[in-house]
Chains A and B, each alone.
Chain A
Amino acid sequence: MSAVLPSGPNLFERILMLKRSMVFSSVSTDDLRVVANELTEEDYVTGERVFDINEQGDHMYIIQSGAIGISLGSKVGSNDYVARLEAGECFGEMGMLDDLPRSGTAHVLKDTHLLVLEKSRLKALIVRYPELSLGILRSLSMRLRDANKKNNN
């Protein structure tokens, strides 16, 4: 992992990326401004791992560029990815909301630039701006409804 890239996305692009994530999709853009300001940037090179299975999860990641493979084991070079995530996609978001360990390992498939949100920062924001939590709850409720619908079908 290395330091921040010289030219990151601006506030608008960060908000748009957050808006496309599952956790923040129902949070209003007015509220996402404060979340966007808390995002930090991290770089990873091919072959690195962002996190390992069973590790304590306290960060959420948005891929700005590059690709991430999620596997259910920690073996390096494993081709058994249950998901391959590209630019604009999110991972590790459930770790923000529960205290359970990571359910998979995130492998860097090609050099990747990530926007990162730390759990403690989100918690502080929620305490300060309670409408954020309502938006997050709404997003989760929508997801639950979708899951119910799929299950019924």
Chain B
Amino acid sequence: MINRITKLLLIQPDERSQIVYFLSLFLIIGCGMSIGRVSAEALFFKRYGIEHLPLIYLFQGGLLFVVTLAYASYADRIAPERLLRPLIIILCGALLALWMLMNFYEWEPVYPIYFLLYELVSEIFVVHCMLYVAQNFNVMQSKRLTPLIWGGWQIGSVLGAVTLAATVSNVGLQVMLLVWLVLMVLAGLMITAHHKKAGLSPYHRAGRKGGKALRHAFEQLSQGLSFAQKSDLLKAMSLALFFMVITFYVLCYSVNRVYTSTFTTEAELTMFFGILGATTGTTALIVQIFITNRLIRRFGVRNMNLLFPGLTLLGFSILMFSFALPAAIFASLIKDAFMPAIRNPVRALFFNALPASIQGRSHAVSVGIVLPLALAVAGLTLMLAQQIRDVLYFLGIGLITGMIYFFYSYKTNQSYVSSLVSSLRKKLFVPDDRLNKNIQGDEDEALRVLEHASTDAEPDIRFAAARTMLELFPERAGPVALKVLSTLAPPLRDQLFKMLAPLEPPKLRDYLWQELSHGDLHLRATAMHLLFSIRDTMARALAGEALRDSNPRILAMGIYGAMHYPVEECSSVAMSAWRDMFASDDKPRVMAALDLLMKWPNTEFTPRLTALLQSDDSRIQFAALQVVKVWPNNQLGNLAGILMSSIDSVDPATSVLAADCIALLDTHDRERLATLSLENNHPEVRQAAARALFPVACGVQPVVDWLAADNGSPRAHAAVLDVLLGKNPPRKILEILACQKAGQANYFLEAQRLIEATGKDYKKGHATAANELVVLTDGINSGLDMLAITLLERCHQLLDQALLVARQYEDASTVGVIRAGLKCDDRQHLASASEAVRYIRDQTLADVLVTVLEKLSGEPVTKNRYQIPFSDLASVLAWLTQKNDPWLSECVKQTKGGL
């Protein structure tokens, strides 16, 4: 029975106790508030007069500002449950004092004071309870459970209203102050008992402590205001709230005018308020528990945010048509049932999109500035409207402010997702792409940044700036890079010369000649090579000199110069020297000979090169592979075999270079070796293999076909995907691919859940056969355990790939932050990322992703419309066997063997 109820109410088993607590607490507080509200209104309207209501609104605005300042002093600094206690104590003290004044002194102003107390307390409590809930649940939980929790408040309201209607004629209205007091004491005791056991609210992040409270309160408000200026969401929410408050209080005043003129005695009015409160409360309760959360999940927060403003406009329209009891009751239903049942939970969800550290301050701005100001404006407007007897005037004002409220609710919706993503970006420390934007947008600005960096005190930064400029703006980078050259140490200078040479900036030769007299041999050899390459006439004479040098690098450059110009008289000496170098056992001489072979491929040395490719020395092997990259095709025997063993080299650079050489093989060997290497453990080897499998000349379709087929592991797919994205495929293809990846993630997750469930049953059945190893691995069939883990990994890898593809056609920055959020194990961040996924433009993809993410987070699935191609362990294993994923296949084999 309990299970059925919790399932119906979308409660997870581990959330039950927390829900029971919040429901009971809110029930008690809601009951107290309902009693307070009916008694305050009835006492004020009948003993003081409704004509004073606009003036009270003015006072209320001022008082609310002061009270909120006090509240804001502590809202972010203290855990919400701790702040509730003093709030309750102050309220109880005030209630006791007012009750004594009413009973023993019959002082007339006590009624507007009591009315004001209720209004202030209800505002502060609603805001604080929202904060309390937000700091106890993540976004996904909040969306599902907030309406239910606020349902507790509504049950309390109904109980309070019914109790009041039933007992008021016997006990009198004034006793209700004491009933409210007792209920608040009970709430205080519950809070203390719960947090003694459960600890602080899990998502509470304490703000700054210490300092003067009042100054801190002003700081809170000013920080909240300054954040509102920066945050489009908070700005739109504040403006929506401002016009909502005016609209709401005009509506309150309008309906109360109808009620006070219809019900003439205090008892009649109280009884009517009780019945009305019970009716609106019950409606709110039913809507909140059974409808709101489903509507939010079905239509999204943004659509639901427009419902209440729309209904308010409808209420005013009906009142303008007929200013009588039925229209007033309908309007009361909107403001007292739909506001708590729909508007409040939806608004609370919007607050979750703001950074947690600013949520309290944002609430403080709402209640401390926006609400008082709006109340004062509403009061003044109504005072002016009261001068004119025609009700159409203040109803007209309400209709206009209602329309503006609708407009700002729409603006709030527009800022919701961007704010959610921006908060997540900050929480995850995802950097913004300022430089990237500069490069894409303002080229001069990017160049200015890089030029500034090229004068940095740190040589590595100067070098990086010059290199980046050469890569991004080659035609404009020359002069800056040359300036940087003279400030760098020889190794960095050597690298920069090589990058600059193809651009041939005007003064490059002067710089190269300067280096020839430099002591650094590497730099001398580089300068010589670059001068020989551009056939510098003055450098020709250096070739003969270099041929007599004892250093292998300089000697190799001499050989290069002799052949490149050519210097006929030195040719035979050069060839003979080169042969000697290759025949030598001296490693530097062999390396220099190989380096020269790369610059000047000579097939005479094919046998020697083939032998060196199989050298045990990884540096020699690496240098030989560099030669292979520029070697004339089909001149090396058994290259496929050589590359295969080089890819398995212990030196990662050699592996990657060997993989790069796969592209040189004939089609058959290339495809065979590339397919094998796609499963290599080194990511760069996989990428090189993917490039070899689908070279630049290859079109988009073969790559798409390969990705669509069940070929290889997600890691292999990631490498091929990289190649595909480099070919700029059309958007339609990307959309299909992203959906396929997300759909596969869904299948893998379903398979994982089935395997996990089977594993649990299997372990139960084999518990008696436990041995030490079983205890050790916490599983009887290690294959089953491994399969479950691997499938979950596959699901995450495929989800990431789906988003990687989506990044190409959606807003890249947003999708990037979502990817980071989904990779994070923090439930709060995961929930925010999952919420943001709902609002990407590709809704087909969003639907699949949301389904997977709901399953991953243990949330009930909103739309599970995907057919799963397996139903039991045997069919899962058969399905997985078709996947051609080597590691997964091994896991399946092990699982089958262990069953």
Give Cα A65 to B789, complex, Å. 23
Q: Smallest CB–CB gap between A20 and chain B, Å? A: 8
Asked if B715 is at the interface of the complex by the 8 Å CB criterion, the answer is yes
0/1 interface trace, chain A 135-150, chain B, CB 8 Å (1 if under): 0000000100100000
Number of interface residues of B (CB under 8 A): 33
Query: Considering only CB atoms, which chain B residue lies closest to A88 in the complex?
Result: B776
Q: Given A10-B782, A129-B681, A130-B652: A142 and B825 within 8 A (CB)?
A: yes
Tell whether, in the assembled complex, residue A152 and residue B776 are in contact, meaning their CB atoms are under 8 Å apart.
Answer: no
Tell whether, in the assembled complex, residue B650 and residue A153 are in contact, meaning their CB atoms are under 8 Å apart.
Answer: no
Q: Which of A3-29 contact B (CB under 8 A)?
A: 9-10, 12-13, 15-17, 19, 28-29
**Which residues of B have CB within 8 Å of A64?**
773, 776
Tell whether, in the assembled complex, residue A9 and residue B776 are in contact, meaning their CB atoms are under 8 Å apart.
Answer: yes
Tell whether, in the assembled complex, residue B681 and residue A87 are in contact, meaning their CB atoms are under 8 Å apart.
Answer: no
Select B825's contact among A15, A16, A31, A145, beta carbons within 8 Å.
A145
Q: How many A-B residue pairs have CB under 8 A?
A: 75
Tell whether, in the assembled complex, residue B782 and residue A16 are in contact, meaning their CB atoms are under 8 Å apart.
Answer: yes
Asked if A30 is at the interface of the complex by the 8 Å CB criterion, the answer is yes
Q: Which of B162-212 contact A (CB under 8 A)?
A: 199-200, 202, 205-206
**19 A-B pairs (CB sep. < 8 Å):** A9-B773, A9-B777, A12-B783, A16-B782, A16-B786, A17-B777, A28-B793, A28-B797, A30-B681, A30-B715, A31-B681, A34-B681, A88-B777, A88-B778, A128-B655, A128-B682, A130-B652, A130-B683, A142-B825
Q: Smallest CB–CB gap between B891 and chain A, Å? A: 8
0/1 interface trace, chain B 558-577, chain A, CB 8 Å (1 if under): 00000000000000000000
Q: Which 9 interchain pairs have the tightest Cβ spacing? A: A12-B782, A87-B776, A129-B681, A13-B782, A12-B786, A13-B777, A16-B777, A128-B652, A29-B790
Q: Given A9-B776, A12-B786, A65-B772: A124 and B650 within 8 A (CB)?
A: yes
Asked if A131 is at the interface of the complex by the 8 Å CB criterion, the answer is yes
**Which residues of A have CB within 8 Å of B793?**
28-30
Query: Considering only CB atoms, which chain B residue lies closest to A138 in the complex?
Result: B823
Tell whether, in the assembled complex, residue B790 and residue A16 are in contact, meaning their CB atoms are under 8 Å apart.
Answer: no
Given contact pairs A16-B778, A64-B773, A88-B776, enumerate 7 new A-B contacts (beta carbons under 8 Å): A12-B894, A19-B789, A29-B887, A87-B775, A130-B652, A152-B206, A153-B200
Asked if A84 is at the interface of the complex by the 8 Å CB criterion, the answer is no
Asked if B713 is at the interface of the complex by the 8 Å CB criterion, the answer is yes
Give Cα A12 to B777, complex, Å. 10
| Majority secondary structure of chain A interface residues (helix, strand, loop or mixed) | helix
Asked if B785 is at the interface of the complex by the 8 Å CB criterion, the answer is yes
0/1 interface trace, chain B 678-697, chain A, CB 8 Å (1 if under): 00011100000000000000
- Specify which of A15, A29, A142, A145 lies most central, judged by the most chain B CB atoms within 10 Å of its CB: A29
Q: Given A29-B789, A127-B652, A129-B682: A16 and B715 within 8 A (CB)?
A: no
Tell whether, in the assembled complex, residue A33 and residue B776 are in contact, meaning their CB atoms are under 8 Å apart.
Answer: no
Query: Considering only CB atoms, which chain A residue lies closest to B202 in the complex?
Result: A153
Tell whether, in the assembled complex, residue A130 and residue B786 are in contact, meaning their CB atoms are under 8 Å apart.
Answer: no
Asked if B826 is at the interface of the complex by the 8 Å CB criterion, the answer is yes
Asked if B32 is at the interface of the complex by the 8 Å CB criterion, the answer is no
Asked if B398 is at the interface of the complex by the 8 Å CB criterion, the answer is no
Asked if B552 is at the interface of the complex by the 8 Å CB criterion, the answer is no
Asked if B779 is at the interface of the complex by the 8 Å CB criterion, the answer is yes
Q: Which of A39-74 contact B (CB under 8 A)?
A: 64-65
**Which residues of B have CB within 8 Å of A33?**
681, 887
Q: Which of A84-122 contact B (CB under 8 A)?
A: 87-88
Give Cα A13 to B789, complex, Å. 13
Give Cα A10 to B786, complex, Å. 12
Tell whether, in the assembled complex, residue B681 and residue A145 are in contact, meaning their CB atoms are under 8 Å apart.
Answer: no
**Which residues of B have CB within 8 Å of A129?**
652, 681-682
0/1 interface trace, chain B 758-789, chain A, CB 8 Å (1 if under): 00000000000000110111110011011001
- Specify which of B715, B783, B825 lies most central, judged by the most chain A CB atoms within 10 Å of its CB: B825
**Which residues of A have CB within 8 Å of B200?**
153
Q: Given A31-B681, A88-B778: A13 and B652 within 8 A (CB)?
A: no
**Which residues of A have CB within 8 Å of B783?**
12
**Which residues of A have CB within 8 Å of B202?**
153
**Which residues of B have CB within 8 Å of A30?**
681, 713, 715, 793, 887
Give Cα A128 to B682, complex, Å. 7
Give Cα A16 to B780, complex, Å. 12
Q: Smallest CB–CB gap between B745 and chain A, Å? A: 15
Give Cα A145 to B428, complex, Å. 11
